[in-house]
């Protein structure tokens, strides 16, 4: 699986994306209330531990806010997954106008409440 940039998706990207979701503590982080520790096992494997085994985790991980994005590009645009990401992260607005995922389409332009232009992801 590759990102729209052509870079391969790695376990580090998954960990970074989920840690950022939890630590930014923005509205979407409510989806991650039961998300505990994320550990990289190898380049393609992560272990994800729920805080409580009595609450759902797989259904939460399918929420749109749990998308995985390319760590390198996110960092270059001000993203942070550190524990202080609530104040350190400067990428929220950038994330709303760009596409760095692995899906079938890449966001080209977005005029809020007007138009969205997407093109095929050649690496999908």
**What does the domain layout of the chain look like in residue ranges?**
11-96
45 strand-pairing partners: 42
Transcribe 45-92 into DSSP letters. EEEEEES-TTS-SHHHHTSGGG----HHHHHHTT---STTHHHH---H
When pLDDT is cut at 50, 70 and 90, the band that residue 112 belongs to is: confident
Interval 3-24: pLDDT, tens: 999 999 999 999 999 999 999 9
Mean pLDDT for all residues in the chain: 90
Q: How far apart are CA 102 and CA 9, in angstroms?
A: 8
When pLDDT is cut at 50, 70 and 90, the band that residue 107 belongs to is: confident
Structure confidence at residue 81 (pLDDT): 95
- Which pair of tokens denotes residue 37? 């520790």
Interval 81-91: pLDDT, tens: 999 999 999 99
């Amino acid at each position: 699986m590759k990102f729209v940039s052509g870079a391969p998706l790695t376990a580090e990207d998954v960990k970074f994306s989920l840690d950022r979701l939890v630590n930014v503590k923005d509205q979407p982080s409510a989806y991650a209330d039961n998300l505990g520790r994320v550990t990289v096992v190898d380049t393609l494997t992560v272990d994800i531990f729920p805080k409580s085994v009595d609450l759902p985790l797989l259904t939460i991980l399918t929420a749109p806010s749990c998308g995985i994005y390319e760590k390198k590009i996110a960092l270059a645009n001000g993203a942070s997954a550190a524990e202080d990401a609530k104040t350190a992260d400067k990428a929220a607005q950038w994330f709303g106008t760009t596409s760095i995922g692995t899906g079938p389409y890449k966001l080209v332009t977005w005029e809020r409440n007007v138009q969205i232009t997407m093109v095929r992801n050649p690496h999908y």
